A and B are shown apart, each in its own frame.
Chain A
Amino acid sequence: MRRGRTITLPNGKTVERPPSHALLTAVLLAAAAAVSVQVTGFRLSVLTEGGYRFFDILKQMVPPNISYLDKVWGPLFDTIKMSVLGSAAGAVLAVPFSVTASSNIVKNRAVISAVRIFYSIVRTLPTLVTALIATYIFGLGTLAGTIAIGVFTFSYVGKLLYEQIETVDMGAYEAMEALGATGFHAFLYSVVPQILPGYISNCLFCFEGNVRYAAILGYVGAGGLGLIINEKVGWREYDKVGMILITLFGAVVVIEFISHQIRKRLT
């Protein structure tokens, strides 16, 4: 670690520069990398020897089987439906929870902590695991996928939302309380206008990611593209897998473009 340094001005006054932690940080990072190579058993030789097989499979995907496209539309729209419904439901459900988790709105520390711990637990659940559990409860199909997407969106948008509520300028809220408004009205008219653009932007951003997530949920039987990807990889029909991936890529590009355009207009 570097020691602090004293800079002296021509007129004799001195300024103490605080010590820098950069060297220590670099050493710790290198050590962590070394430990993780050990723990995971990473070997460069495996990559150089077996890596070409990855490209073998990619090569078999081209040319993609265009005639298979007719069978891709159904699962693709299932995937998009799961993302839209799940994202919307999760984002709406997050609102009351996030308001309750904001320390500038709710003054009870215990309530705030309880909601936040709940959020952390939900966020820890991998979406694939949620989807798997959902298939046990609601059966195979898109409902399970929708619920998994909803749960993930709830925890993701929820955390961003309460952090956003906490950085809001409470001046207008105070003014409304002073003129005799209820806490609910004060929140609705002074906090909501401040958080709404950011909230919608976060929801759309989350939705973009959800389309990609939803595409793999079929692996655990939760419907959508993952179902046929899993099937065709199993049958080694890589030209059909290629077609599926290209269609998914196209859909993701279109959705991200639209979402990005909307988010740019939110200020």
Chain B
Amino acid sequence: MIRFEHVSKVYGNGVKGLDDVTLDIEQGEFVAIIGLSGAGKSTLIRAVNRMHGITEGTLTVDGVSVGELRGRELRKFRRKIGMIFQSFNLITRTTVINNVLTSRVPELPWWRSLLGIYRREDKIAALEALDQVGILDKAYSRVDQLSGGQQQRVALARTLAQNPSIILADEPVAALDPVTAKQVMDDFRRINREMKITVIINIHHVDLALEYADRVIGIRSGQIVYDGPADQVSGEVLASIYNGKEYGKMEDAG
């Protein structure tokens, strides 16, 4: 379980990323976080695995206070949290399987990690992860030869190969076309349902958020302005999340 208690984050330049956020996310939930760019979606998601620190309040994951973790403990904690990025963050000039295998590096003996010699069990785990996202046949292709949707699946496989209990996804489909975006969202749903992995997604596509997530969290200027089931998100709710501008007319508002 992820628990935010009165969490705030003030950046060095005085900007408030998060403002008194309190919320619980149970194991196995599928949560979409929506809001304008700069509202604090990214800060919220990155606080969970401490890619961004918080300045006030407490944040616990399965009873562990995230803010107090240091060095080795922090790295061990991050092992069970997967992360997916908007721009995939893969090593493009090497093969798909090499990318997936990087998630096993922290568990290798030091001499293996130095030489990049993986164990058989690591390779099997990597290939199984690729099979789960349906691109096993691409295992030995170079990443820069794949389409965007395939690359995001490689990133997903990399995350699965570390056996996470939580997956954080920061705008995972923003760089993809609508059809591919749906396929990747289907992957997230399947992983969430079959493996009981908690999925927390930052997303700009409100229609996708409402279609796939069980629960929607709306954030505005660092504050939670909506937290409830996806099927109860109304036009009014969206208007309040998007600074009072009615969703769908935002192009006019610029």
Our verdict on whether A and B bind, yes or no, reads yes
User: Which of A169-177, A224-232, A255-263 is found at the contact surface with chain B?
Assistant: A169-177
**Is the C-beta of B105 less than 8 angstroms from some C-beta in chain A?**
yes
In the A-B complex, the 8 residue pairs with the closest CB atoms:
A171-B89, A180-B78, A175-B89, A178-B83, A180-B79, A180-B75, A172-B91, A189-B102
**Is the C-beta of A194 less than 8 angstroms from some C-beta in chain B?**
yes
How many residues of chain B have a CB within 8 Å of chain A? 32
How many residues of chain A have a CB within 8 Å of chain B? 19
User: Do A185 and B76 touch (CB < 8 A)?
Assistant: no
Contact A178 to B78, CB < 8 A, known contacts A171-B87, A172-B91, A193-B91: yes
Of A172, A176, A182, chain B has the most CB atoms within 10 Å of the CB of A172
Q: Smallest CB-CB separation from B155: which chain A residue?
A: A175
Which residues of chain B have C-beta atoms less than 8 A from A189's C-beta? 91, 102, 105, 116
A180 to B166, CA, bound (A): 14
User: Do B90 and A172 touch (CB < 8 A)?
Assistant: yes
Nearest CB of chain A from residue B140's CB, rounded to whole Å: 16
Nearest CB of chain A from residue B94's CB, rounded to whole Å: 5
**Is the C-beta of A254 less than 8 angstroms from some C-beta in chain B?**
no
**Is the C-beta of A181 less than 8 angstroms from some C-beta in chain B?**
yes
User: Do A182 and B106 touch (CB < 8 A)?
Assistant: yes
User: Do B85 and A179 touch (CB < 8 A)?
Assistant: no
Which residues of chain A have C-beta atoms less than 8 A from B91's C-beta? 172, 189-190, 193-194
User: Do A175 and B85 touch (CB < 8 A)?
Assistant: yes
Which residues of chain A have C-beta atoms less than 8 A from B155's C-beta? 175
What sequence of 0s and 1s flags, for each residue 144-174 of chain A, a beta carbon within 8 Å of any chain B beta carbon? 0000000000000000000000000101101
**Is the C-beta of B114 less than 8 angstroms from some C-beta in chain A?**
yes
Contact A179 to B103, CB < 8 A, known contacts A193-B94, A194-B93: yes
**Is the C-beta of A58 less than 8 angstroms from some C-beta in chain B?**
no
Besides the known contacts A171-B85, A172-B90, A180-B75, 17 further A-B residue pairs in the complex with CB atoms under 8 A apart: A171-B88, A174-B85, A174-B89, A175-B89, A175-B155, A178-B51, A178-B81, A179-B83, A180-B76, A181-B75, A182-B106, A185-B106, A188-B114, A189-B91, A193-B93, A193-B94, A267-B93
Which residues of chain A have C-beta atoms less than 8 A from B99's C-beta? 172
Nearest CB of chain B from residue A27's CB, rounded to whole Å: 44
Which residues of chain A have C-beta atoms less than 8 A from B81's C-beta? 178
**Is the C-beta of B77 less than 8 angstroms from some C-beta in chain A?**
yes
**Is the C-beta of B220 less than 8 angstroms from some C-beta in chain A?**
no
**Is the C-beta of B55 less than 8 angstroms from some C-beta in chain A?**
no
User: Do A180 and B106 touch (CB < 8 A)?
Assistant: yes
Which residues of chain A have C-beta atoms less than 8 A from B90's C-beta? 171-172, 175
Q: Which of B109-165 contact A (CB under 8 A)?
A: 113-114, 116, 155, 158-159, 162
Nearest CB of chain A from residue B76's CB, rounded to whole Å: 7
Nearest CB of chain B from residue A167's CB, rounded to whole Å: 14
Which residues of chain B have C-beta atoms less than 8 A from A178's C-beta? 49, 51, 78, 81, 83
A267 to B74, CA, bound (A): 36
Q: Smallest CB-CB separation from A176: which chain B residue?
A: B102
A193 to B99, CA, bound (A): 11
**Is the C-beta of B222 less than 8 angstroms from some C-beta in chain A?**
no
Which residues of chain A have C-beta atoms less than 8 A from B82's C-beta? 179
Q: Smallest CB-CB separation from B74: which chain A residue?
A: A180
- Partner of A180 from the list B77, B88, B89, B113 (CB cut-off 8 Å) is B77
Which residues of chain A have C-beta atoms less than 8 A from B89's C-beta? 171-172, 174-175
A237 to B218, CA, bound (A): 88
Nearest CB of chain B from residue A252's CB, rounded to whole Å: 32
Q: Smallest CB-CB separation from B168: which chain A residue?
A: A178
Which residues of chain B have C-beta atoms less than 8 A from A174's C-beta? 51, 85, 89
Nearest CB of chain A from residue B112's CB, rounded to whole Å: 11
A171 to B83, CA, bound (A): 12
Which residues of chain A have C-beta atoms less than 8 A from B106's C-beta? 179-182, 185
User: Do B51 and A177 touch (CB < 8 A)?
Assistant: yes
User: Do B162 and A179 touch (CB < 8 A)?
Assistant: yes
Q: Which of B61-89 contact A (CB under 8 A)?
A: 74-79, 81-83, 85, 87-89
Nearest CB of chain A from residue B179's CB, rounded to whole Å: 24
